[in-house]
Structure 1
Amino acid sequence: MTDAPETQEQFSSELTKPLYSLWQLTLYFLKLGSLGFGGPIALVGYMHRDLVEERKWISEASYQEGLTLAQVAPGPLAAQLGFYMGYVHYGILGSTLVGIAFVLPSFFMVVALGWAYTNYGGLSWMQAVFYGVGACVIGIIAQSAYKLTKKTIGRDWLLWAIYVVNAISTIITQSERVELILAAGVLTWLIKAPPKNWFRGNKVNGFIGLPLISILASVPSASPNLLWQIFIFFGTAGSFVFGSGLAIVPFLYGGVVKHYQWLNPQQFLDAVAVAMITPGPVVITTGFIGFLVAGFAGACVAAVGTFIPCYLLTIIPAPYFKKHGKKPGIAAFVNGVTVAATGAIAGAVVVLGQQSLRDIPTILIGVVTLALLWKFGKKLPEPIIVLAAAIVGLIVYPLTHS
């Protein structure tokens, strides 16, 4: 008997006939992309509630497989799970349409905000809004970093070491070190689930590394053309977002602000704030950044570059993952890179906080935001906190910058 990989047809034929049409699923994700606030964890929860529990379109087993794949492969968690939900019964076409429907609403929103920011960013009222919102975002990221830390590490000394090293590295270099994140995955894999029968052709050994290598190898070196340069950078960024969309923040900061100097630190913080006040996946901030750098074309190229890797890393391994996804080695690798990315997010809180928490009012806004999230958790939606911070900014900014 051969160990040939399962085809998409074999993958789909094992599933029951869908209780919904592709059009219905596409409309659902269009609505989720338009109204789904709360970040990746909330969006993942909405999908489970709506598609598994209430409508019963997707089985619990398929949902869990999709969630595990979204954590294993690089890519923003919510977007990648959405791609998989489209793939379950309708294959590549379903994944494509669902992905477009999920991303487009927030993309158009950030483009509109980018246009307003570009044309009116010098106005005092908009500066006041981002004065308050930027400080609020630091509190939100800090709370997310705490929750991710609590969820992923526990009392494991190895994971704590990985976490601390990546946090310190991010603070010192002011950027996310991709090589440290991948090394963390490999180290955790080798220590916690060392490969057996290494030389006997176990095909799953290359499952994680090969897609990453193939994507990066297919990207040529930096081009003089700005749009091509944007595509290369954001394509690379989209290839290394593990677990949460916030993991892309330190990576983007290192490239956009420190290396290419496309934006200054304040503009970058404003871009992160825009992602917080719009629905859909957090990584849509790349569209806003692309617009500031190169207009509408830059927004399109940045968004496409960000989402293509996670799209490919959903539809390509999906048939294989159904068979091999629960391998201990894969789980250990994912655990390592997730903890490393969480450490980078914690480090980014310090880096970004130095830029945003620059006086007593902004420090108070950040601290109050963190306290509110700590006290009320999910009962207090983040967009409401951001809106309140914007109002505070409108009131306080004129008093402190007169």
Structure 2
Amino acid sequence: MASQLTVPDFSELVRVFTRIGCLSFGGPAGQIALMHRELVEERKWIDEEQYLHALNFCHLLPGPEAQQLATWIGWRMHGIRGGLAAGLLFVVPGALIILALSILYAYAANLDWFAALFLGMKAAVLAIVVQALIRIGGRALNTRFKQVMAVLAFVALFFLNLPFPLVVLGAGAVGIAVAHYRPDWLALKAGGAVAATTPRPWGKTATTIAVWLAIWAAPMAVVLLTVGQDHVLWQIGSFFSQLAIVTFGGAYAVLAYMAQEAVQGFGWLSAGEMADGLGLAETTPGPLIMVTQFAGYLAAFRAPEPFTPLIAGILGAGLTTWVTFAPCFLWIFAFAPWIERLENARWLKGGLATLTAAVVGVIANLTVWFALHVLFSKIGELQIGPVRLYWPDIASFNGQAALLSLLAALLIFRLKWNVIQTLAITSLAGLALGWAAS
């Protein structure tokens, strides 16, 4: 099989990944399928076994697995410059589109027609998140232990308000222990791992980590020296840098963390605006985690001094994108030479399996939180010891949002429409309802 593979020259790699970056709609599943068709089936740059092996490796890493898979493929073809080209071209088209839409959103948010349009988008996002919960839960919760971990994660976040990193990293630590003592609880095979044959590139790995940590931190040093730690740009960079380290489980898990901190902690944007941002990310190419750029733009736009709102927003969006995706290159370039060893580490598989189960609880928390804020305009909150309770104000029930949510659920679950089609129809329906109400 390997003799049939072809190695593209650098210009062809750039051309192909430019095409992939502009067509990578549909979230990670669609993006992974697109790259498989383009690179494995049609061009035969890598074979099936290599592709799946690399995909499993990328699932072990925090951050968007599809973008990291693209980076790995570029690295495999042309080293560091190939990885940079493939990874950046996977992100840049969507980043530019999200930036343009964020600018439009910030200036048009007070217009009635704009609010009606995004009411339909929020309703679709609620149905999309429910679909993600069902899909990921059905795949991940294949043992009773994993189901218990998902429930515990939901309770920890929704009722106890525990920090997201503590929940997911704690679940990973539990999984490592369970993988050693009771692998059957995780449906891990009882046999030993195959011994790795690749050498241990300690020196190269250490150098790569040092270089990319400096690259990752460079814009934060500029912010520190120019506007200081009290500025919103420092808060944005610090928060999204932390998020980049613990974002296992995809964009929906990221949103749960952002909802906990960016909405309730920092007050950068509202729950409804977070749903709007995910709707924009769903309709544009590139990783869904690009919704972080939308949040970074609004945070800086609303606290712009000493810049204008537009300049501050662009700086916030750029800083967010930098600290979100620079670590993705660090993980790939530092750990790709270790791929064979990491793939065979049962303790790591166990930690990831339990962490993924906990992410189902994280997404369930996000689903309930979104549903409350989409369907009701007023949400009460009560703290009883360590337990936090939410309850909606029945008088603030939004009938239009409920109707649009039912329409979105019908399109997704009954008619099997894709995300783009559903968002388009519910947005237009929101406009029609807004026009009729006025």
**1:284 deviation in Å?**
0.7
C-alpha distance in structure 1 between counterparts of 2:368 and 2:374, whole Å: 10
CA displacement, residues 313-335 of structure 1 (integer Å, 9 cap, x when unaligned): 12211101223322211111111
CA displacement, residues 97-121 of structure 1 (integer Å, 9 cap, x when unaligned): 1111111111111111111111111
Which among 261, 277, 291 is matched to residue 297 of structure 2?
Answer: 291
Query: SS state of the match for residue 159, structure 2?
Result: helix
Could you say which structure has the greater relative contact order, defined with CA pairs below 8 angstroms and 6 or more residues apart? 1
Cα contact 2:18–2:90 (8 A) shared by 1: yes
Query: SS state of the match for residue 263, structure 1?
Result: coil
CA displacement, residues 278-320 of structure 1 (integer Å, 9 cap, x when unaligned): 1211011111111112210000000111112222112211101
Which among 82, 103, 106 is matched to residue 115 of structure 1?
Answer: 103
1:399 matched to 2:436? The reply is yes
Which among 296, 301, 305 is matched to residue 319 of structure 2?
Answer: 301
CA displacement, residues 171-218 of structure 1 (integer Å, 9 cap, x when unaligned): 2366862111111111112112359xxxxxxx99xx9xxx8xx97xx8
Cα contact 2:70–2:87 (8 A) shared by 1: yes
1:361 matched to 2:400? The reply is yes
Which among 414, 420, 427 is matched to residue 383 of structure 1?
Answer: 420
Cα contact 1:175–1:254 (8 A) shared by 2: no
Which among 410, 416, 424 is matched to residue 371 of structure 1?
Answer: 410
1:33 matched to 2:18? The reply is no
Cα contact 1:15–1:89 (8 A) shared by 2: no
Which among 153, 158, 164 is matched to residue 141 of structure 2?
Answer: 153
- The amino acid across from 2:406 in the alignment is V
C-alpha distance in structure 2 between counterparts of 1:27 and 1:376, whole Å: 36
1:4 maps to none
1:2-401 → structure 2 map (5 Å cutoff): 18-154=6-142, 156-172=143-159, 177-194=164-181, 223-294=229-300, 295-358=313-376, 359-377=398-416, 380-400=417-437
- The amino acid across from 1:291 in the alignment is Y
Cα contact 1:136–1:365 (8 A) shared by 2: yes
C-alpha distance in structure 2 between counterparts of 1:250 and 1:265, whole Å: 11
Change (3 A) 1:301 1:175: farther
- The amino acid across from 1:180 in the alignment is V
- The amino acid across from 2:403 in the alignment is L
**1:17 deviation in Å?**
7.5
Q: How many residues align?
A: 370
C-alpha distance in structure 2 between counterparts of 1:93 and 1:390, whole Å: 41
**1:43 deviation in Å?**
0.6
Cα contact 2:149–2:171 (8 A) shared by 1: yes
- The amino acid across from 1:395 in the alignment is A
Query: SS state of the match for residue 123, structure 2?
Result: helix
**1:64 deviation in Å?**
1.3
The root-mean-square deviation of aligned C-alpha atoms, in Å, is: 2.7
**1:15 deviation in Å?**
10
2:304 maps to none
Change (3 A) 1:244 1:15: farther
C-alpha distance in structure 1 between counterparts of 2:294 and 2:3, whole Å: 39
- The amino acid across from 1:394 in the alignment is L
- The amino acid across from 2:235 in the alignment is Q
Larger CA Rg, structure 1 vs 2: 2
CA displacement, residues 340-398 of structure 1 (integer Å, 9 cap, x when unaligned): 12210111000011111232221232233233322344xx3211110101100001123
Comparing 380-389 with 319-328, greater Cα deviation is found at 319-328
1:200 maps to none
**1:16 deviation in Å?**
9.1
1:3 maps to none
TM-score by length of 2: 0.79
Cα contact 2:54–2:339 (8 A) shared by 1: no
TM-score by length of 1: 0.85
C-alpha distance in structure 1 between counterparts of 2:317 and 2:161, whole Å: 24
Cα contact 2:18–2:89 (8 A) shared by 1: yes
- The amino acid across from 2:88 in the alignment is I
C-alpha distance in structure 1 between counterparts of 2:261 and 2:12, whole Å: 39
**Percent identity over paired residues:** 27
C-alpha distance in structure 2 between counterparts of 1:55 and 1:302, whole Å: 34
Unaligned runs of 5+ in 2: 184-199, 301-312, 377-397
Change (3 A) 1:47 1:17: closer
Change (3 A) 1:174 1:114: farther
Cα contact 1:35–1:279 (8 A) shared by 2: yes
Cα contact 1:103–1:280 (8 A) shared by 2: yes
C-alpha distance in structure 2 between counterparts of 1:75 and 1:267, whole Å: 22
- The amino acid across from 2:347 in the alignment is G
C-alpha distance in structure 2 between counterparts of 1:79 and 1:32, whole Å: 11
C-alpha distance in structure 2 between counterparts of 1:387 and 1:17, whole Å: 41
Query: SS state of the match for residue 292, structure 1?
Result: helix
